[in-house]
Structure 1
Amino acid sequence: MNGLRDRYMKQAPKEVPEEIANNSNYFPYFKVRSWNFTYVLAGWEGAANDYRVLQDALSRPQPYGLRVYDGKYYLCDAGYTTMPGFISPYRGVRYHLKEHTGRTPKNRKELFNLRHSSLRSKIECTFGILKNRFKILAGKPNYPFPTQVDIVLACTVLHNFIALEDPDDDILNENVEIDEDTGEETNEDDSNVMDYTQSRSQREDRDVRNEWKELRDQIAWAMWVDYCAKYNGGNTMESGLT
């Protein structure tokens, strides 16, 4: 199964799924590939800090590391930070979908977090589907550690295969309860992959993070203007910003 990894698990796929391309809430701000895994780094203990695992994935040489291409970015939850190639939600602003129930966004930050959370819920749902199908992932298999790593990779490849070849699969389309935790095609052109192995000074690191926070602000404002044009008569006045 792992021999099919390059065929059924592709990083930064070019195609945009119809449910995103045809949804003005997301497109052109977010262009995601729903239901598929694009990169898997197996082997870390479950209690490991998420950001530490991400740094490990980014620091690995290609083709083993996580690729981030110029002009593209990943959405990540509040456990990470906004930095080159990764955009997290605004902190101190309501985020989880349940917090938005029965109310409309009052400003650009709330709107951005709402749509960010809506897409991140798809990620959580995909993990739920994976675990529902492959019960071995929730158990404690008595296999050598390298075999356990291979099992994780094989299951994710199989998941992608099913999603591509049989999109009407029952398990793939079943409703998954999401627990919102409040606490042989390959990419041949690597010339525009960001290099995370080069060290930067603290000042350079701070400056580049600020650039990406400014990008998040630009996306949030563009969303807000479009939202107000559709639902608020073009009035972009905001409330609740600090």
Structure 2
Amino acid sequence: MIGREEKNQRPRSYFTSYFTLVKHMAGISPTTRQIFNPLPQLQNCSINVSVTCSPQRSTVHLPAIKYTMDNQIREAAELVRARQLQAANLICFLVAFVALRRLLNRSRANLPTNDEILQRRYVREEMLHDLSNSGKCRELIRMSGKAFMTLCSILKRDRGLRATQRMSVEEQVATFLHIVGNDLRNRFTSWLYRRSGSTISRCLHRVLRAIISLEGRYIQQPKGDIVPKEIQEKKRFYPFFKDCIGAIDGTHVRVKVPNKDAPRYRGRKGYPTTNVLAACTFDLKFTYVLTGWECTASDSRIIKNALTRDDKLIIPTGRYCLVDAGLPHTTTLMAPYRGVRYHLKEYSTRAPENAKELFNLRHASLRNAIERAFGVLKKRFPIIRSTAEPFYSCETQSGIF
């Protein structure tokens, strides 16, 4: 009968065995209830009391009997409490053991084999070799192979960019340029380089900080001691604009911000953007960049902040920069005549008719350098041109610009 009953029973999991053991230790099962139940001990106490207090005895020690009963009750309660504490500890241990076992099994299942590791390494080495030796380097990372190797050596030598245990400096820089040059998502880049998403994210921010630290070396403001050749060599600009050192304008870059800050960054485009102020020379070299302002901020407020902050825009005495009609006309900022034709398209079918229109035409032709600089930059690095919601935060997107 016993064997037949056991045969008909459903197989029990190891959880059932664990909790059965816990019940036994807690004194809950029928076989152990009589051991840890204080009721029999209390009954023995009452029997002792009745025997001690029977008429056959001549002496009755009531205080001693009460003391003995209290001790027995206290000992029984402490025994039950100790068993319950042991059961609780055992439950916690078993839960932690099962969770750890599942985690270890899952980790072992996700670990790559030696063949997979070698294959991933081969794919990365082959990709880096193609970047530095093929003609597609400029298409993929927006610079030539020679410029790429020069940038890697500068970051290693001057900015302390170091190779990690499994990732070389060249791979880190190539990953960064691949992302900003093609507006790639973290998920696709991790698949392309056979890396985890967290590794790609850390690599992006590490290289970004190293490149931003080169700002003081490669983004230098003009001293104004020479006349730009773009003005000096053209009669329609010289000597009228001989004191001009550059052009200033702003552009909008889409960013991702929290919902509570979205109204401050949402303008006429319908999605959150940041207003980037930049200055450049007439050979399309940027000399100053100010990022982080929300698009609802006025241009006059942004230019005022750029001229007064610690890392301010410096315009030498006696020199000026060209700005559009949205900015104020001052001794250092030259704006066009308001209420007069200005944009180049407006002069495509009809020539200027007076001195103000002629000035605005030449002003627009010269200030067009900053618009062309923005166009070249956004075409080369689509991550700042895209109208889709960025994958990175507003601070990271501003740093990338």
Structure whose residues are more often helix by fraction: 2
Larger RCO (CA within 8 A; separation ≥ 6)? 1
5 Å matches for 1:1-242? 1-14=211-224, 15-30=226-241, 31=244, 32=246, 33-34=281-282, 35-61=284-310, 64-139=311-386, 140-152=389-401
- Bigger shift: 123-132 or 100-109? 100-109
Q: Distance in 1 between matches of 2:383 and 2:348?
A: 35
- Bigger shift: 136-145 or 123-132? 136-145
The answer to whether the 8 Å contact 2:223/2:316 transfers is: no
State the Cα distance separating 1:17 from its structure 2 match. Answer: 4.1
Q: Distance in 1 between matches of 2:350 and 2:223?
A: 35
Q: Distance in 2 between matches of 1:67 and 1:86?
A: 12
Aligned match of 1:170 = none
State the Cα distance separating 1:150 from its structure 2 match. Answer: 1.4
**Residues 59 and 19 of structure 1: CA distance in aligned 2, closer, same or farther (over 3 Å):** closer
Q: Distance in 1 between matches of 2:223 and 2:217?
A: 12
Residue identity in the other structure for 1:142: F
Q: Distance in 1 between matches of 2:223 and 2:330?
A: 21
Aligned match of 1:229 = none
Residue identity in the other structure for 1:71: G
Identity across aligned pairs (percent)?
47
The answer to whether the 8 Å contact 2:219/2:287 transfers is: yes
What are the Cα deviations for residues 41-67 of structure 1, in whole angstroms up to 9, with x where unaligned? 011123432111111111202xx0111
State the Cα distance separating 1:95 from its structure 2 match. Answer: 1.0
What are the Cα deviations for residues 114-147 of structure 1, in whole angstroms up to 9, with x where unaligned? 0011112221111111110111112333223332
Q: Distance in 1 between matches of 2:371 and 2:321?
A: 15
State the Cα distance separating 1:105 from its structure 2 match. Answer: 2.6
Q: Distance in 1 between matches of 2:364 and 2:394?
A: 34
Q: Between Structure 1 and Structure 2, whose CA radius of gyration is higher?
A: 2
State the Cα distance separating 1:2 from its structure 2 match. Answer: 1.6
Residue identity in the other structure for 2:297: A
Structure 2: state its 5+ residue gaps.
1-210, 247-280
TM-score (norm 1): 0.57
Q: Distance in 2 between matches of 1:81 and 1:138?
A: 28
Point out 4+ residue stretches in structure 1 off by more than 6 angstroms. Answer: none
Structure 1: state its 5+ residue gaps.
153-242
Output the aligned Cα RMSD.
1.8
How many residues align? The count is 150
SS in 2 for 1:40: strand
Residue identity in the other structure for 2:291: A
Structure whose residues are more often strand by fraction: 2
State the Cα distance separating 1:16 from its structure 2 match. Answer: 4.2
